[in-house]
Each structure stands twice: as C-alpha cells, then as structure tokens.
Chain A
Amino acid sequence: MSFGDWIGQLENWIFAILAVGTLSGAFLVVHSRNVIHSALGLVLTLGSSAGLFLMLGAEFVAWTLVMVYIGAVIVLFLFGIMITRAPLGYESDLSHPMSVKVTAAIVSGSMFALIGWAFLDAFGSVEFPVAEGPTRTADIGISMFTNYVIPFEVMSFLLLAALVGGIVLARQDPEEVDE
C-alpha cells in the first residue's frame, strides 16, 4: 500500500491527528521543565490514546482510560507534585545533565529501532480485518467473569493490598507528630 493510498483514507487522517497528540503529549512529559505541564502532557497523551481505542472499537477500555487515568491518576499525580515540591514554576533540575540525556536518547532510540524493525518485519502492511462493529461491553464482562475470573480476583486482592500499603506508608505516626 503506497503512502498516497494510505493518506487517502479519512480514518488515517483521524489517526494522524491522534498520533500527533499522543506523541506531543509524551514529548511534554519527558521534556517539559514545568512539572504541571508534564502532568498535563500525560492528560493529552492518554486522551489521544483513548481516541485511538475508540477508533479501534474498544469503547469500554477507552472510557475506562478516561475515567481512571484522566479522572483519578492525574489528580493523584498533581497531589504528589504539590506535596513534594512547593515551587511550581520552571525548574532546571528536573532532568539529569546533558550527558545522561544523550545516553538515554541512544538507549531509547535503539530500543525503538529494534521494536520497530520487529514489527515491520512481522506485520508489513497487514490490514485490520473488517470489523463487525465495536466490541460489546457485555462480551467483555462475560469473558472477564468466566474465563478470566481468577486474574480478576487476584487483581482485586492486589488493589486491596495497595490500598492498605499506601495508607501505612504515607500516614504519619502519631508519636512522631507529638515529638
């Protein structure tokens, strides 16, 4: 499939817009000198990837992403940022110096080259099968509570453990406060 054919399809235009949103948000996350801008860059990335999920027909995952990530996790991050650093302006020491950045760029670039080569080698220009519509949420629910019920239970136990652990870790001891 040539690039002209590819760009001729309307859905690929939507994909291109969402991809630009995803990558620019990611760039903001890894490169911004303002912590709040980094957190908001993550919102852009996750919002765009929710749009990609909608394109793929994974509606329930898309809305779960919006509610859990953009609704809750980002708020948690903003709390963490505000607790751990009071000055909210531009900071120069959020990243390592240039030498470490260059090494990190080399490592991540070669990782991208490796993964990208593997994908191009394996999938070439395979197209998605013609979808019969988005995945029904009822199907996901039935599959989750029949075939994947044990991972589901394990995960709920993990969430409970994380809840207890988070409280124990972050709580200040009453004796320490008194001293």
Chain B
Amino acid sequence: MFDLLFENIERKIEITEEDKAFCKTLFIPKKLRKKQYLLQAGDIAEYVAFVNKGLLRSYSVDEKGEEHIIQFAPEDWWITDMNSFLTCEEAIYNIDALEDTEILLLDKPSQDKLFEHIPKFERYFRILIQASFVAMHKRLLSTITNTAEEKYMRMLKTYPDLVQRVPQHMIASFLGIKPETISRIRKKQASNS
C-alpha cells in the first residue's frame, strides 16, 4: 500500500525505516470508485492525495455546465486544490476518480506533524511544489501561445500514457480545444505517417 509512495519520496529525499513507520501512522488509506468525488467545489480541501493506483482529475465547471480539466493524476502523482488546502478557502475545483482508485491522504494537521517530526519532508514537499510550479508555467505558456496541434503534440510527447488512458473529450478539455479538433489532428497524423 505504501511502496509507491516511499519510492516517490526516496527519489527526492532519504528516509529511514523509522520515518516510514511514522508515515504509516499519518496517511489515510482510501479507495474511490470510478466517478466518486474526492472533493467538490465549495467544500474545503482537507487533504493532499497521493495516487497509489488508478486515476483522478481536477476540474472546474463553468456557467454553461462545461467541464475544464486542470490536472490528471495517475499513479505516483499528487493532487489537491492547493489554494483551498493551504488557505482553507472554498475549493474552486472538483476532484473525482476516472477509474477505481486507491489513494493515500494527508490532512493539514498530519502534514504539520510530519514536518515537525521529520523536517526533511519540508524539502520533499518543496521539491514537489517547485516541479508543479514549473510545469504549471509551461502549461500556461503553451495554453496562450501554442496552436491546437502544438498543444496536442506536446501532450502526446509529455504524457503518452495518459493520452491512451483518458477519453478524447477530456484530453480536449485539458488542452482547452474542441474534441473535433483532436480528431482532425489525429486524422492528419495518420495520413502523414
């Protein structure tokens, strides 16, 4: 249940068996079924979630009822509504499961406890947030400068597995383009190759 999380942590910091045992007293093991919510917009994000198995997504819904996907989180990824988690303001995103999913949850009091007992975890989460910050800026730049085709090709290159795993209309929602556009790009790719 904890193997993947510890592998993820150990890629960034060194932890002892004792540290691992302590982690096991803090993380909440939870299963979600396909389509089940982890968080609904308007609630407070109580947890950061590490995906051990399955796939989650965060998204917002606009006035017309259209979904805009912010992030996909397959195995080995973290997900939350960071603003809500840090500030206790209402979440603006929904997070739900696209597949049956196993997650490990960490709430704020437990995260504080973790930082207090094992300060190097601050370094771990700092590295995560840095990486997320960089990725977010790349995504922002791509969103405002790239053509639909460039965006799709970038997605295909960066997250090839996700493109296979997630329905096309969700990829379109994530990229901010129309599903028909992806069909067109795919057709063009097929005829080019």
- Is the A/B pair a real complex? no
